Structure 1
Amino acid sequence: MRTTTMGRDGPVVGRLGLGAMGLSYRYAPGLMDRTKAVSLVQEAVDLGVNLLETADAYADGENERLIGEAIRGRRDEVVLCTGGGLLGNPDGVLRPAGGPQALRDAVDESLRRLHVDHIDLYLLRRIDPAVPLTESWGALAEQVWAGKIRMLGLPVVTVEQAREAEAVHEAAAIGAEVSLFTRCGLDDVVPYAVERRIALLAGAPLGRGLLTGAYSRTEDLAPDDWRRTQPRFAPRAIRHNFALTQAVAQVAARHEATPAQVALAWLLRLGDHVVPVPGTRASYHLAENLGGDRIRLTEQDMTDLEFLPYPAGSAEV
């Protein structure tokens, strides 16, 4: 697998990471099998994936516990990414929680759940409009100086916000939902990230499953799957979006690949600083995703994908 450096002086990571959210949260949680989830994380590490991404808000900390169990005895083999700044509510909505003390407490709780003495990359998951960014970022910088965190990452930001934060402490990464279906911020934030050697962690790189071509109807999703509530998976929108995936499949056919592999190859082609973190629960999809690293898209491929129509329905970021 191709590699890159996390931030200016950070560790070497594979260009494809593993997003753990779907192992226990939002995507048909009733079908979760914890034992299989732990095994899949371990399989990913065996296959050379060393960047694991989780968050304290995923399943009220259960996702972190799962990752902690999976890497027990293998801590030195992985670059561990988690994050805070969001709180879940009984209504299932995540809300910003960027107060300094809340973030200090969140870091300590993540360390406890993960059973580690430090976190390699800690992402501020959302900017809290009620708290100045410098206060949230400064509280996390304190945790770096205390040895609890090695590197910090920003959420979706403007260039101005990124500069404001970096005046307090450098950022090693920016975590954002980026895919063929979600390209917000690519025009301005990506050049800034390149200039500053900041990694772009591309979350939901497969459009939350849409870009795999597996979903043509809302009914294809389990009854308890959170995606049923999302505009892009509404009955009329999902039909339109499935048709777009067929256009991606045409590019994939040129490379004897799948739409998912092309979607990941497109992200990898954006620059060495881009690190997609696709998630899955299945070994065969894990292998499929890693196969995206072998695809070398041509200029014609990139042109065809660049003019892909915009998907129907807004994205949850």
Structure 2
Amino acid sequence: MRTRQIGEFSVSSIGLGCMSLSFAYGDVPDTEYGAKLLHEALDTGYTMLDTAALYGNGANETLIGETLKARRNDYMLASKCGISKNEEGVRTINGKPSEIRKVCEESLRLLQTDVIDLYYLHRLDFTIPIEESVGTLSELVTEGKIRSIGLSEMSAETIRRAHAVHPISAVQSEYSLWTRNPEIAVLDTCKDIGAAFVAFSPLARAFLTGTLQDPQSLPDGDLRYGMPRFEPENYQKNLELLEEYANLAEESGCSMAQLALAWLLAKDDHIIPIPGTKNIDHMRENAGADAVTLSEEVIVCLDQLINQKTVHGSRYNAAAQSKIDTEEFA
């Protein structure tokens, strides 16, 4: 794959989101298959792996640490702090300095490494000034435990406040044809401060692959059950968008998944999508999007076909959205 820049790191233009190997989408693959996928991803050309302390409560970091400790120099490692379980075992957003340090030390142990290349604050803790949380991350940079700082799901205003404390190398948020919120302000803010924008769920949680026809068939525990866009009435309306979308993929000589990723890559050179998958064939297919060149006509058609005005249902329900600092369309 071609490369793009995150701070001092040159990484593959498409990174690998590792979450689904341990968390969030129902059944997870066994350790042997997950390890095989990670090794083959590096062999395929992925040089950025994205994980978090949250994913499987350390299981994802453990998988990466055990599997790739002998290949640590082959990839840029990104992980996240800021979402933890409290004493009652309830998942909470926690940006306190003491918690950030505690989680970082545990992540270093599980990942079996001396340093994390890119360390994100996973969510904004509304009870703690962002300057305080980022100040602690800055101390971890000085101490050599992390190399650079990122933010996840935060607004342009918060990003600028954080950047005033310490340079922010990357901002991660959901971005795809059907989730355009970063276009309100965050994409431009990243450009202004020299940060990469890392797009998670670039395939719209499988919607843009064309392989998910009935969200009610998803396994128990799949987080999409709680998302309004995947409710039956909304989803059936959203599926109507895919007929023309599939035609555009065929016209462009690529799969539907590759079309979604190629659209993101064409948007700007500071954007790095990180599709996740539990399937080795899909991982290789996603990497192939780097070789897809879209015509201006196709890009215009895509922008008009699937956007915040044509998609039915909100990204998150009201309770989930209230805990996120990102801008929303009216």
Is this a same-fold pair by TM over 0.5? yes
Could you list the per-position Cα deviations for residues 185-213 of structure 1 after superposition, in whole angstroms to 9, with x for gaps in the alignment? Answer: 21322122123221111001111111111
- Distance in 2 between the 1:197 and 1:14 partners? 18
1:297 lines up with 2:294 in the alignment: yes
1:121-136 → structure 2 map (5 Å cutoff): 121-136=118-133
1:178-257 → structure 2 map (5 Å cutoff): 178-257=175-254
- Distance in 2 between the 1:68 and 1:175 partners? 22
Give the C-alpha shift of residue 162 in structure 1: 1.5
- Distance in 1 between the 2:140 and 2:206 partners? 35
SS at 2:45 equivalent: coil
1:288 lines up with 2:318 in the alignment: no
- Distance in 2 between the 1:229 and 1:192 partners? 30
Change (3 A) 1:110 1:59: same
- Distance in 2 between the 1:260 and 1:151 partners? 30
Give the C-alpha shift of residue 28 in structure 1: 1.4
Q: What amino acid does structure 2 have at the position aligned with 1:14?
A: S
Q: Tell me which residue corresponds to 1:12.
A: 10
Which of 85, 92, 96 is the aligned partner of 1:95?
Answer: 92
Identity of aligned residues (%): 39
Q: What amino acid does structure 1 have at the position aligned with 2:211?
A: A
- Distance in 2 between the 1:18 and 1:224 partners? 22
Give the C-alpha shift of residue 93 in structure 1: 7.4
SS at 1:74 equivalent: helix
1:9-48 → structure 2 map (5 Å cutoff): 10-29=8-27, 31-48=28-45
Q: Tell me which residue corresponds to 1:276.
A: 273
Give the C-alpha shift of residue 154 in structure 1: 1.3
- Distance in 1 between the 2:88 and 2:198 partners? 28
SS at 2:240 equivalent: helix
Change (3 A) 1:229 1:92: farther
Query: Structure 1 regions of 5+ residues with no counterpart?
Result: none
- Distance in 1 between the 2:215 and 2:88 partners? 22
Q: What amino acid does structure 2 have at the position aligned with 1:181?
A: W
Give the C-alpha shift of residue 158 in structure 1: 2.6
Change (3 A) 1:241 1:90: farther
Kindly indicate whether the alpha-carbon contact (under 8 Å) linking 1:215 and 1:242 is maintained by their aligned counterparts in 2. Answer: no
C-alpha root-mean-square deviation of aligned residues, in Å? 1.8
Q: Tell me which residue corresponds to 2:142.
A: 145
Q: What amino acid does structure 1 have at the position aligned with 2:203?
A: L
Kindly indicate whether the alpha-carbon contact (under 8 Å) linking 2:173 and 2:182 is maintained by their aligned counterparts in 1. Answer: no
- Distance in 2 between the 1:93 and 1:187 partners? 32
Change (3 A) 1:260 1:124: same
SS at 1:72 equivalent: helix
Change (3 A) 1:106 1:92: closer
Give the C-alpha shift of residue 231 in structure 1: 1.5
1:260 lines up with 2:257 in the alignment: yes
Q: Tell me which residue corresponds to 2:113.
A: 116
- Distance in 1 between the 2:303 and 2:243 partners? 15
- Distance in 1 between the 2:164 and 2:45 partners? 35
Could you list the per-position Cα deviations for residues 229-257 of structure 1 after superposition, in whole angstroms to 9, with x for gaps in the alignment? Answer: 22221111221222223332121011221
Flag as ranges the 4+ runs of structure 1 deviating above 4 A: 88-94
Change (3 A) 1:78 1:249: same
Q: What amino acid does structure 1 have at the position aligned with 2:52?
A: A
Query: Structure 2 regions of 5+ residues with no counterpart?
Result: 317-323, 325-330
How does the TM-score come out when normalised to structure 2?
0.91
Could you list the per-position Cα deviations for residues 21-60 of structure 1 after superposition, in whole angstroms to 9, with x for gaps in the alignment? Answer: 111101113x432210111011000111010000000111
How does the TM-score come out when normalised to structure 1?
0.94
- Distance in 2 between the 1:166 and 1:227 partners? 33
Q: Tell me which residue corresponds to 2:328.
A: none
- Distance in 1 between the 2:90 and 2:203 partners? 22
Name the count of aligned residue pairs. Answer: 314
Q: What amino acid does structure 2 have at the position aligned with 1:225?
A: D
Change (3 A) 1:54 1:313: same
Give the C-alpha shift of residue 223 in structure 1: 2.8
Change (3 A) 1:90 1:313: farther
Could you list the per-position Cα deviations for residues 125-169 of structure 1 after superposition, in whole angstroms to 9, with x for gaps in the alignment? Answer: 100001000001111111001000000001223322222111110
- Distance in 2 between the 1:173 and 1:256 partners? 31
1:313 lines up with 2:310 in the alignment: no
Give the C-alpha shift of residue 215 in structure 1: 1.1
1:79 lines up with 2:70 in the alignment: no
- Distance in 1 between the 2:185 and 2:215 partners? 34
